[in-house]
Chain A
Amino acid sequence: MDKQIIISISREYGSGGHAIAEDLSKRFNIPLYDSNLLEIIATEKNVDKESLKQYDEVPRVRLFTRKVKGQTNSLEENVANMQFEFLKKKADAGESYIVVGRCSEHILKDYPCMVSIFILGSKEAKIKRIMNLFHLSEDDAIDKIERENFRRKMYHNYYCKGKWGDSRNYDFSINDSILGLEATADIIEDYVKKRMELM
């Protein structure tokens, strides 16, 4: 690819946003960074990946943590910062990639090649998707969706000025339950290509 492009995909839990990100990664033939980011970081630092993964996209617990001169004992925040630095380093190196979550629409906002997308879904579609994926009852699926979305919101809103899911913080917000994952991916692909023409 001639031009550098970074696609930031934020998503509601159960919306299928991650599946769309995987699809777009294939369409644009660029790497996808999600929780695999920590595997790469763990390999680079020669540490156990599982020890890092337990703090992935987890909000900081204020009561048990402190900040001193910009340093913190919050493992959640340190792991988040590692990912933010990694994403910026890749962006600075001119690499094109798709990143799922990780406050990327805020962290990478100064990069003109970044396109930020928020994918949401209807409640019914999200419940159905989670029930099928994890073989859960409807009630359990609702609980899981609410819990995960709350966690994502808390995590996001700690690091970012804008609120999670607020359409004003993203270039493009779309409900993928209406057209389905593939057609939604088509629209996003088209939008990203048009943005690239303007770059």
Chain B
Amino acid sequence: MAAQILAVIIFVLMFVLIVTERIPRHFVTLGCGALMLIVVFGICMRSSEAVMKTLNLKTFLDSNFWILTTGEESSTGINWATIIFIFGMMIMVEGMAKAGFFRWLCLGIAKAVKYKVQSIFLTFMIMSFILAMFIDSITVILFLAAVTVELAQLLKFSPVPMIIAEIFCANLGGSATMCGDPPNIIIGTSLNYSFGQFVTNTGLIAVISMVFVVLYFYIVFRKHLKSDLKGEKIKYPEPKEAITSKRSFAVSCVIFGIAVVLLVTHAQTGLTVATIGILVAVLTLITTPRHAVELLKKVDYETLLFFIGLFVVVGGLEQTGILELIAGFIAKICGDKILVMIAIVLWISAIASAFVDNIPFAATMIPVIKTLSSTMGVDLSILAWTLAVGTDIGGSATPIGASANVVGISAAAKSGHLIGWGKYCKYAAPATIIVIGISMAIIYVRYF
């Protein structure tokens, strides 16, 4: 009992400290993780087994960690596969950014649609969606918003509608694949779902929702999508000028292509996301030896440490049985009404993710849905897709719901265009409700 109470206190403390941002979040999760290991596992439970299970270091020696052969479920504790995959993708994305890939792509599309504001709006939304399927949404928005601001200054239109729509589409695109958004990577690696399974389930929901989202944003923003140019001559930026080195550019495109192919086929090849992460990182580093150290330095180690600490804290909740209690509570509320349970998981995930970081939320909910699945007799995959969609999409509703929102709003603000809570939520919150509603309808129709 003492272990359970302390585990909850440490978890709540971690959440509060993350939200208040007084201490860098990686220090928070690592500190709370250390507390969990020492106080809960060491002093209260006196269980070295719980410590080992949570640290999960044995997983590296398991051949299934690198090449999946038996299809066994991953063990609990630190999800090293997620951490290694994200590390690998960070290096690859840094390599692509350094070569000028993202800027080239954005400017190339703007040029292809002849710099027409409405066409840029539509194509950038679609590009944001597609890129975020494979690359983290922060990077996607970082480049897309910067080019949007640049084009807005050139063509004299407000970048605000475009940036809000891009942010939303990046979050939606991230929900479509296993590697699009951190909650999906964690769900996929924890429950052993493949890229293909994500695409055919959350991907389908995302693509159908995208049609409605494009229509919605076009309708609400159409009056703002006009250039104030009055016949002035403009010198448009050339896409090819964005490329810093033709060789690096070609290499980064090839590596990106390899990453996509490996991810799409990983169920067939048996290569796990950890192996794919290592492969793309090694490929990037050996093909750009002069910049290898620089790329390694640019890796966001703070985020990786944040993940490690977070998994330990969530592991503490799991080992002490707290998450089973939560699952039992949800099951009790729902009775035998599975549709109600789906609605609860979807909407609670969405609402929680709109206000708190969706990564700790998803990591906490995975053991909960595992227990719910076994006690209520619901297919675990349905709960997994529900959780993924809820956490990924819910984050779009408010300026602080997802990292991409913060980065996009910041890019707009730096150009003098301020997007406050009111302005952001006015457009993004209804879109979020629409998508969550569509997702719920698809889940009900398809799986029940």
Q: Is A157 an interface residue (CB 8 A)?
A: no
Q: How far is the CB of B161 from chain A (nearest CB, A)?
A: 15
Residues of B within 8 A of A67 (CB): 21, 406
Whole-angstrom distance between the alpha carbons of A41 and B418 in the complex? 13
Residues of B within 8 A of A82 (CB): 414, 416
Chain A interface mostly: helix
Whole-angstrom distance between the alpha carbons of A102 and B92 in the complex? 40
How many residues of chain B have a CB within 8 Å of chain A?
25
Among B409-434, those with CB < 8 Å from A are: 409-411, 413-421
Whole-angstrom distance between the alpha carbons of A96 and B419 in the complex? 34
Whole-angstrom distance between the alpha carbons of A73 and B138 in the complex? 13
In contact, A75 and B418 (Cβ under 8 angstroms): yes
Q: Is B153 an interface residue (CB 8 A)?
A: yes
Q: Is B20 an interface residue (CB 8 A)?
A: yes
Whole-angstrom distance between the alpha carbons of A46 and B406 in the complex? 23
Q: How far is the CB of A123 from chain B (nearest CB, A)?
A: 32
Q: Is B12 an interface residue (CB 8 A)?
A: no
Interface string of A101-112 (1 = CB under 8 A from B): 000000000000
Q: How far is the CB of A55 from chain B (nearest CB, A)?
A: 7
Q: How far is the CB of B184 from chain A (nearest CB, A)?
A: 18
Q: Is A137 an interface residue (CB 8 A)?
A: no
Q: Is A65 an interface residue (CB 8 A)?
A: yes
**Contacts A68-B403, A69-B138, A73-B399 given: A52-B418 contact, CB under 8 Å?**
yes
In contact, B300 and A52 (Cβ under 8 angstroms): no
In contact, B400 and A73 (Cβ under 8 angstroms): yes
Q: Is A66 an interface residue (CB 8 A)?
A: yes
Q: How far is the CB of A87 from chain B (nearest CB, A)?
A: 16
In contact, A78 and B414 (Cβ under 8 angstroms): yes
In contact, B416 and A66 (Cβ under 8 angstroms): no
In contact, B418 and A71 (Cβ under 8 angstroms): no
Chain B interface mostly: helix
Residues of B within 8 A of A75 (CB): 413, 418-420
Whole-angstrom distance between the alpha carbons of A41 and B416 in the complex? 8
Whole-angstrom distance between the alpha carbons of A54 and B130 in the complex? 37
In contact, A66 and B21 (Cβ under 8 angstroms): yes
Residues of B within 8 A of A93 (CB): none
Q: Is B363 an interface residue (CB 8 A)?
A: no
Q: Is A62 an interface residue (CB 8 A)?
A: yes
In contact, B400 and A66 (Cβ under 8 angstroms): yes
Q: Is B19 an interface residue (CB 8 A)?
A: yes
In contact, A47 and B416 (Cβ under 8 angstroms): yes
Residues of B within 8 A of A41 (CB): 416
Q: How far is the CB of B227 from chain A (nearest CB, A)?
A: 14
Contact with A72, one of B410, B420, B421 (Cβ below 8 angstroms): B410
Residues of B within 8 A of A66 (CB): 21, 399-400, 403, 406
Interface string of B357-400 (1 = CB under 8 A from A): 00000000000000000000000000000000000000000011
Contact with B153, one of A46, A64, A68 (Cβ below 8 angstroms): A46
Whole-angstrom distance between the alpha carbons of A44 and B409 in the complex? 20
Residues of B within 8 A of A (CB): 19-22, 138, 153, 300, 399-400, 403, 405-407, 409-411, 413-421
Q: Sorted from nearest, which 6 A-B pairs have the closest CB atoms? A: A45-B416, A78-B413, A47-B416, A71-B410, A73-B409, A73-B399
Residues of A within 8 A of B (CB): 41-42, 45-47, 51-52, 55, 62-69, 71-73, 75, 78-79, 81-82
Question: What would be 15 A-B contacts, judged by CB atoms less than 8 Å apart?
Answer: A42-B416, A45-B415, A51-B418, A63-B19, A65-B399, A68-B403, A69-B138, A71-B406, A71-B411, A73-B399, A73-B405, A73-B413, A75-B420, A78-B413, A78-B418
